[in-house]
């Protein structure tokens, strides 16, 4: 396997750092930290370049907050300087990692995403149903995925493709920045919200992808981050696969399958990528409708109180309608949600 060197100079190149700042500020140019950094952008980037060149750069502590929907998660937010470094690294490393991924891995990749994964799932359902008639689905996810990622295993996976010592030094700084003990072989927890964590997590489970595709030789397999599914005609074979996958995850990646991982006939519909999916139908999740209803009620109240403007309302509505258009959502549901947003105030002005 080819290993890449001479990457570090490309990472701290001033043009790359400037491009990284552009990506960090995209859609956030009026945020306070962005505006403050931009006030002395050239000076700040030169100072950052100097820190990287002299290897005096040290990641700052994360700011954290908790999300409770759809499940409780701790989100880690890096200061702007660290976010620039993350983007600068990925600008150079992304093409290397991208070349490793299988086709049917849909998270954190250009041209992929949930809607591409949805279309592929429907295609696989139709192909497998035409091939076998009766089809079963093995639907799995990883228990506490990001908090369970082992730092040392993650670093070893990165080292297989990158031989540039300075770049590895920088990865070491970033990966172990959330570790209480760098020398602990059980050191784990990749912070959700960190760009390198998102890409690294995808790379981490690429080990599973390669095992499933090239060792187990499974055709109908799709993964989106830590959610994945396999289609097959033999229910007992899927039970065997589940045991093999669980063993691989435990031994090679120090991960465990969620106990809720299940095997069932596809005529029940597959709960995946935010939808309920059949070979001939796609519906919205009931939980998504409930969350959207609550969210839009809060949005309506905020608009009435003048806390947000019409542009914010339209943005949220457009995002939801974009999600709905990929499913056979009843028009009344969409119109009801539209009413929840717009009912509080006359928009004719």
Q: Mean pLDDT of all residues in the chain?
A: 88
**What are the residues whose beta carbons fall under 8 Å from the beta carbon of 106, sequence distance 6 or more?**
112, 113, 114, 116, 117, 120, 222, 223, 224
Average pLDDT value for residue range 231-238 = 96
Average pLDDT value for residue range 53-81 = 85
d(CA 53, CA 326): 47
**Residue 289 has what pLDDT?**
77
**Residue 312 has what pLDDT?**
72
**Residue 84 has what pLDDT?**
96
Average pLDDT value for residue range 309-319 = 74
Q: pLDDT band at 134, cuts 50/70/90? A: very high
Contact present, 328 and 283 (Cβ < 8 Å): yes
Q: pLDDT band at 332, cuts 50/70/90? A: very low
d(CA 293, CA 329): 14
**What are the residues whose beta carbons fall under 8 Å from the beta carbon of 161, sequence distance 6 or more?**
1, 2, 3, 4, 96, 97, 100
Per-residue pLDDT tens over the stretch 274-300: 899 999 988 888 777 777 777 777 777
Average pLDDT value for residue range 228-241 = 97
**Residue 342 has what pLDDT?**
56
Per-residue pLDDT tens over the stretch 138-147: 999 999 999 9
Average pLDDT value for residue range 110-129 = 94
> Residue 118's closest CA among 312, 335, 325, 297?
325
**Residue 347 has what pLDDT?**
41
Query: Is 48 in a helix, a strand, or coil?
Result: helix
DSSP 105-167: B-SS-TT-SHHHHHHHHHHHHHHHHHHHSS-EEEEEEBTTHHHH-BHHHHHHHHHHHB--HHH
> What percentage of residues in the chain have a pLDDT greater than 90?
64
**Residue 42 has what pLDDT?**
94
Q: Between 293 and 20, where is the model more confident?
A: 20
Q: pLDDT band at 59, cuts 50/70/90? A: very high
Question: How would you label 312-334 residue by residue, b for 16+ Cβ within 10 Å and e otherwise?
Answer: ebeebbeebeebbebbebeeeeb
**Residue 349 has what pLDDT?**
39
Per-residue pLDDT tens over the stretch 239-267: 999 999 999 999 999 999 999 999 999 99
Given a cut of 50, is residue 207 above it in pLDDT? yes
């Amino acid at each position: 396997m080819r290993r890449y060197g001479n990457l570090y100079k490309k990472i701290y190149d001033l043009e790359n750092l400037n491009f990284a700042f552009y990506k960090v500020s995209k859609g956030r140019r009026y945020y306070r930290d962005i505006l403050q950094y931009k006030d002395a952008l050239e000076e700040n980037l030169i100072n950052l370049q100097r820190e990287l060149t002299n290897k005096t750069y040290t990641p700052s502590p994360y700011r954290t907050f908790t999300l409770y929907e759809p499940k409780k998660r701790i989100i880690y937010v890096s200061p702007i300087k660290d976010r620039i470094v993350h983007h600068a690294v990925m600008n150079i490393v992304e093409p290397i990692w991208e070349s490793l991924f299988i086709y049917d891995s849909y998270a954190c990749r250009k041209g992929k995403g949930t809607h591409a994964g949805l279309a592929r799932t429907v295609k696989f359902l139709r192909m497998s149903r035409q091939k076998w008639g009766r089809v079963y689905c093995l639907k799995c996810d990883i228990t506490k995925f990001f908090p369970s990622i082992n730092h040392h295993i993650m670093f070893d996976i990165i080292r297989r493709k990158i031989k540039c010592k300075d770049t590895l030094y920088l990865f070491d700084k970033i990966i172990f920045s959330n570790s209480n003990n760098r020398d602990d072989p059980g050191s784990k927890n990749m912070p959700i919200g960190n760009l390198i964590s998102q890409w690294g997590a995808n790379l981490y489970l690429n080990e599973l992808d390669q095992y499933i595709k090239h060792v187990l030789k499974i055709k109908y397999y799709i993964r989106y981050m830590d959610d994945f599914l396999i289609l097959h005609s033999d229910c007992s074979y899927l039970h065997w696969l589940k045991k093999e996958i669980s063993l691989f995850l435990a031994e090679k990646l120090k991960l465990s399958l969620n106990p809720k991982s299940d095997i069932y006939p596809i005529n029940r519909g597959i709960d995946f990528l935010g939808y309920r999916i059949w070979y001939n139908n796609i519906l919205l999740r009931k939980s998504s409708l409930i969350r959207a209803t609550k969210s839009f009620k809060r949005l309506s109240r905020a608009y009435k109180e003048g806390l947000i403007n019409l542009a914010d309302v339209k943005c949220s509505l457009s995002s939801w309608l974009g999600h709905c258009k990929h499913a056979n959502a009843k028009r009344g549901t969409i119109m009801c949600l539209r009413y929840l947003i717009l009912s509080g105030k006359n928009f004719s002005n």
